[in-house]
Amino acid sequence: VQADGTDGNCVTFVLHDEDHTLGNSLRYMVMKNPDVEFCGYCITHPSESKINFRIQTRGAIPAVEPFRKGLNDLMGVCQHVLNTFEVSL
């Protein structure tokens, strides 16, 4: 992950070897945070497996915090789905 941005409240993270699967689900998790003003992502080109993931906060916290929280929350949801699936087998 690379991070670009001069202001800590508005940062673009570059996620390598990822696509819409992670981008859209992570965007959903990050937007649940009330301190986040904007969150979006784009894939620079269809032949590249790279996402530009942008987060802008309202200024109370730096953008890296909702990014980390979104990743951790998403891992928790995925773990819950996996556990539920394994129990049902």
Q: Which residue has the higher pLDDT, 1 or 73?
A: 73
What is d(CA 49, CA 5) in angstroms, rounded to the nearest whole number? 21
Q: Which residue has the higher pLDDT, 46 or 72?
A: 72
Considering its fold, how many domains does the chain have in total?
Answer: 1
- Residue 44 phi/psi, 5-degree rounding, is -60, -40
Q: State the pLDDT at residue 1.
A: 62
CATH code of 62's domain: 3.30.1360.10
User: If you average pLDDT over every residue of the chain, what do you get?
Assistant: 93
What range defines the domain where residue 72 resides?
3-88
Interval 50-54 mean pLDDT: 94
Residue 56 has pLDDT above 70, yes or no: yes
Residues in the chain: 89
Per-residue model confidence as pLDDT tens digits over 2-25? 666 667 899 999 999 999 999 999
3-class state of residue 16 by DSSP: strand
Based on its alpha-carbon atoms, the radius of gyration of the chain, rounded to whole angstroms, reads 14
